[in-house]
Structure 1
Amino acid sequence: MKMKLYVVLLVLASSLTFAQGNQEKREKIKALKVAFLTEKLALTSEEAQKFWPIYNAFEEKQFEIRYKKLRGLGKQLEENNEEKISDKEALQLIAQFESYEDELHGLKKKFSKDLLTVLSPKKAILLKKYEDEFNRKLLRQMREGRN
């Protein structure tokens, strides 16, 4: 349940941020997230040097799957007029959705494994907690209209 909430919040926060099309805001949010996570995880300079490339690669690939691939399926459904979609087309979309979800799951497993090469297990699990905390704060600020 908590994982689903995290995904919804992340998608919502990211969608709102990216939908605005404001590169400066995205960069500001990214910088705030880097500072927040670095501080909360108490990353040493050595850990940070190894951690951030792994984290950034994961975030980019996750974005690609969620926003380019999964969102593309939604657009495809809209373009095909959801009222007129055939069962065969629907099954194809379902299979593609499952494939993308499997890809996302594999990416998360690889990320967890990679994290443990640079962070302690405690810091690796705390990363999830602090990401959630950052996303809640970001969402709250967005609701309040602060930038």
Structure 2
Amino acid sequence: MTIKKLFPYFFLLISVTIYGQNERLREKKDQIKAMKVAFLTNELNLTSVEAEKFWPVYNAYDDKQFEVRHQKMRTYAKKLNDGSLDSMSDKEALSFLNQIENTDEEQYLLRKKFNTAIRNILPPTKILKLRKSEVDFDRKLLQQYRNKNK
């Protein structure tokens, strides 16, 4: 067989492999999200009225935060780790630094907007519990990951 005849099969194989990996990542993300919802529900002890109003706002915030953090920060991490820092001019480094600061500010403003929105839904004590519970969940998830890789 010639290369021209093998190319469609090779392309199909690569497509199936990439699709399978994306599907597994999506499943893992959904699994973590379900664990987070269960954890936060338990920790916050939301009333049915609070939960009905809270979850749509929280899910929208969480999705946007995930997008900002993973899309932009992944790009920054690649650039920081690919060795190009040593060959960057001061002008390029300053531009890159400004991009990182803008992303940090975008995340801060996103959190601030979310906090403003949930003040109409939850009492201040539950908002503070939410912040603590998010940190606790992240620690728990990290610990599970570390234990799994031992």
- Please tell me the TM-score bracket, short chain as reference: 0.7 to 0.9
Identity of aligned residues (%): 46
The unaligned stretches of length 5 or more in structure 1 are 1-18
**Structure 1 segment 118-133 matched on structure 2, within 5 A:** 118-133=121-136
How far apart in 2 are the matches of 1:74 and 1:56?
A: 26
Tell me which residue corresponds to 2:92: 89
Equivalent position to 2:45, from 33, 42, 47: 42
Q: With structure 1 as the length reference, what TM-score do the two structures score?
A: 0.77
How far apart in 1 are the matches of 2:74 and 2:32?
A: 22
Equivalent position to 1:113, from 108, 112, 116: 116
Select the structure of larger CA radius of gyration. Answer: 2
Aligned residues: 128
Displacement of 1:73: 2.6
**Structure 1 segment 26-41 matched on structure 2, within 5 A:** 26-41=29-44
Q: With structure 2 as the length reference, what TM-score do the two structures score?
A: 0.75
Q: CA RMSD in A?
A: 2.3
Superposed CA offset, 1:91-144 (max 9, x none): 111111111111111111111111111111110111011112222222221111
The 4+ residue runs of structure 1 with deviation greater than 6 A are: none
How far apart in 2 are the matches of 1:62 and 1:91?
A: 25
The unaligned stretches of length 5 or more in structure 2 are 1-21
